Amino acid sequence: MTKIVTSGRLLTVVSLFACALPAAAQAPLMPYHPDREEVAVNYKSAAELDSLVRNKAYRTGVRPRWQSGKNAFWYKNLLQDSTAEYVYVDATAGTRQLAFDHARLAAGLSKATGKPQDAAKLQLTDIVLAKDGILVETDGKWYNCHPGSYEVKPQEIAPERSKESLNPGSRPRWDRGNWESRNISPDKKWKIDIREGNIWLQPNEGGEAVQYTTNGTKAAPYGEVRWAPDSRFFAMCRIYPVEAAKVYYLLSSQPNTTRAELKFNEYAQPGDPNTMYEVYVGDVAAKTVRKAAIDSCNDRPSIRWRKSDNRYFTYERADRGHQRFRIVEVDRETGATRNIVEEKTNTFIYEQRIFTSYLDDKDEIIWSTEKDGYMHLYLVDAKKGGVKNAITKGDWVVRGVDSVDAKKRQVWFRASGMNAGEDPYNVHYYRINFDGKGLVKLTTANGQHSLTFSPDRSFYIDNYSRPDVPPVTELRRTSDGSLVTTIEKADITRLLATGLRLPEVFVAKARDGKTDIWGIVCRPRNFDPQKKYPVIENIYAGPQDAFVPKSFSSYSEMQSMAELGFIVVQMDGMGTANRSKAFHDKCWQNIADAGFPDRILWIKALAAKYPYVDADRVGLYGTSAGGQNTVGGLLFHPEFYKAGVAACGCHDNRVDKQWWNEQWMGYPVGKHYEEQSNITNAAKLQGNLLLIVGEADTNVPPESTYRLADALIKANKDFDFLVVPGMGHSDGGPYGRRKKRDFFVKTLLGAEPPVRNIASN
């Protein structure tokens, strides 16, 4: 049973089952073991829920279309029974109203087009509200509707279309450009050509070419040329390419043939050699080439010439092993180098999260790093080197930079963990000055936020929600974040009428007894607190991110699985991202940990609070890294996890992709890779296991699962194995998901799933 209450501006859904009495005040509960009839009812309930909840939540978001030259927009609301309404918002005035009289416009369009139009189901692709009429586009044609009489006539000249909202920006990327634009000097006098791997320079208007290098070959050529702005020098690389080794897979069930087809991918694995790059400088006048005084690197150098002084250029480099990051400056006159930025760590630097923005006018760089324990932004002196000041600081995490305003000297960014008492993963939006002062909070409500801006960025639309709180959409001013008006509040009345229980957000302490671990809990619609339900954990402990949903959703596979008679949970343990550096470091050379000590304590805390949670019957499932984690739970924590379904898992980090595994497990490949391998530890299996793999997986080689199966067979272990012909990297698709449910019904509920092979009459 659920009810809806209003708490401030936020619509909050309160689950009455959360008010259960403490365990000590209740008699022991009997484990839930449904009979055949009840199992059939549960499967039917799950199937019904999958369709019942679709299109039952309304007004959950706004896709604004801004009017040209106006701070006004329209949007379309899809409502129940496939009806729709069109809404017009004047941001300056702070007003919201229907864009037009739907019935009168439908009548006018019916007459003008000769086709009947339903006022509740108008299909308009664009709307422009002009002084002399309402211009609407439908079926690829424009019509002008008189605002008073609603007389509709064809509009011969199409108006300027309404504009989409602006999403926040993303990290500026180095544009490699094309060879034709890069090989010609900025003053257009010179052209570089590469012949047999060597650099040749000749006048762009014609003339004799001069060879600058002689040791280049097709196997180790020169390339990646970047001209200095003054055209007197050019930077380049000598490249030592390495072709990645191949991994193979078979397509067993190809049509029109009786033979399987062998396929392969070029696929670098941990420890494999990499392409290397050496940095050089060419002197046009001296006709010489000088090597930069630095060792070769395994990343393509992103060379940037300093605009204020063409004597220097910089490039970013991360050493293999992911423990050192530098912004290196090269002196073109001498080849000498120095580090503008240098970061070293004993664990890892999360290179994919590094942000850099080069402010050429002031010779500054904005750089993100976790060097002080949390991901933050710093202002770097690009001439002198070193940090000038911290832009952001505190026990919270910068999650991304949306834009950098060099003129106003402001950074627009996303962060989480700044608001005490709130889920530390919730994303909020902020603006701050380069000197670390003048912080403006663009979002304040307790929830996960997503922003879009008006074309002139003077207004923004904020949509926020939580797993247990339906969405709210607000219009706010960019200048100070103040509220203009609430545009929409989601209507989930019909969704709750299906009996759906929204997830509960649950928090428990980690292994250190201090850190909060956040997760969600899903219960069946026919939940009975007098029964004791087994637990299934949806696990994905990949260190690259955090994975528990933070936004509202009207449907999830977890909820569907709960209908079969389970408590289904998900949480982010230590070793995942988006918290402190120390929280993340638990995964370093230790992926097998997977946060299990935190996960087990979390489930035990849940069981301590709710007597109907059976912590003696716990299973888990996951895909990819989650597949690896699932098997790891059974192998390394058999006292707790009793059953698991693992799909396309990376069961040995030596078999998986190089860039991902070396980031977390380190380089060189050491004994810890073998010690943490599911394959090496296969003989430890005690619980029930279902392995699923797609034979055409190009993400994690299928052989990772095959090798695990081989090790389990050699260890004389019982397990179930499903290979899906032709399927790629997935959870097994509809058939695999069905087998997963059946497996847990058998192993955790001790019941038999429906028999499906009986022919129907």
E strands along 370-443, which residues? 376-381, 387-390, 397-405, 410-416, 428-433, 440-441
DSSP 184: B
| 145: amino acid identity, one letter | C
Residue 560 has φ and ψ, to the nearest 5°, of -65, -45
Strand runs labelled E in 106-245? 126-130, 133-138, 141-145, 152-154, 163-164, 190-195, 198-203, 210-211, 222-227, 233-240
Contact 153, 136 (CB under 8 A): no
The end-to-end CA distance of the chain, in Å, is 39
- H-run or E-run covering 663: helix 658-665
The CA distance from 733 to 699, in Å, is 16
| Integer Cα distance of 756 and 154 in angstroms | 58
Per-position DSSP letters for 603-643, written without gaps between them: HHHHHHH-TTEEEEEEEEEEETHHHHHHHHHHHH-TTTEEE
Among 542, 520, 741, residue whose Cα is nearest residue 632 = 542
Torsion of CA 648, 650, 654, 660, to 10 degrees: 110
Which helix (H) or strand (E) segment holds residue 66: the answer is strand 65-66
Q: What pLDDT was estimated at residue 16?
A: 41
Question: Using CA atoms, how far apart are residues 344 and 341, in angstroms rounded to an integer?
Answer: 10
Q: Is 199 exposed, middle or buried (0-12, 13-18, 19+ CB in 10 A)?
A: buried
Element (H, E) at 541: none
How far is it, in rounded angstroms, from Cα 65 to Cα 72? Answer: 8
Predicted local confidence at residue 26, as pLDDT: 56
Look at residues 380, 481, 385, 486 and name the one whose alpha carbon lies nearest to residue 434: 380
Dihedrals phi, psi of 431, to nearest 5 degrees: -135, 140
Q: What does the domain layout of the chain look like in residue ranges?
A: 31-55+496-747, 65-162, 172-344, 355-490
Q: Does the reported pTM lie above 0.95?
A: no
- What is the reported pLDDT for 25? 52
Q: In which element (H, E) is residue 384 found? A: none
For domain 31-55+496-747, the CATH superfamily is Alpha/Beta hydrolase fold, catalytic domain (3.40.50.1820)
- Measured between alpha carbons, how far is 242 from 143 in angstroms, rounded to an integer? 60
Residue 387's Cβ-count burial label (10 Å; 0-12, 13-18, 19+) is middle
As given in the structure block, the two tokens for residue 369 are: 């790093």
Residues in the chain where the model's pLDDT stays below 70: 1-27, 169-181, 759-761
Q: What DSSP element (H or E) covers 262?
A: strand 261-266
Question: CB of 552 within 8 A of CB of 514?
Answer: no
Give the pairing of strands 304-305 and 261-266. unpaired
Cis-peptide into 34, omega within 30 deg? no
CA dihedral (110, 115, 116, 118) positive or negative: negative
DSSP 80: G
Rounded to the nearest 10 degrees, what angle do helices 596-609 and 625-636 cross at?
70
Q: Which fold has domain 172-344?
A: Methanol Dehydrogenase; Chain A (2.140.10)
Tell me what pLDDT residue 164 has: 83
Position 175 scores a pLDDT of: 37
Query: How far apart are alpha carbons 200 and 4 in whole angstroms?
Result: 74
User: What angle is formed at CA 453 by the lines to CA 389 and CA 69, rounded to 5 degrees?
Assistant: 125
Strands (E), 481-596: 483-489, 504-509, 516-522, 531-538, 567-571
Q: What is the CATH number of domain 355-490?
A: 2.120.10.30
3-state secondary structure of 268: coil
- The residue type of 748 is L
Closest residue by Cα to residue 368 from 381, 382, 358, 353: 353
Phi/psi for 603 (5° steps) reads -70, -40
Buried-exposed string 700-713: b where 16+ CB fall within 10 A, e elsewhere: bbbbbbbbbbebbe
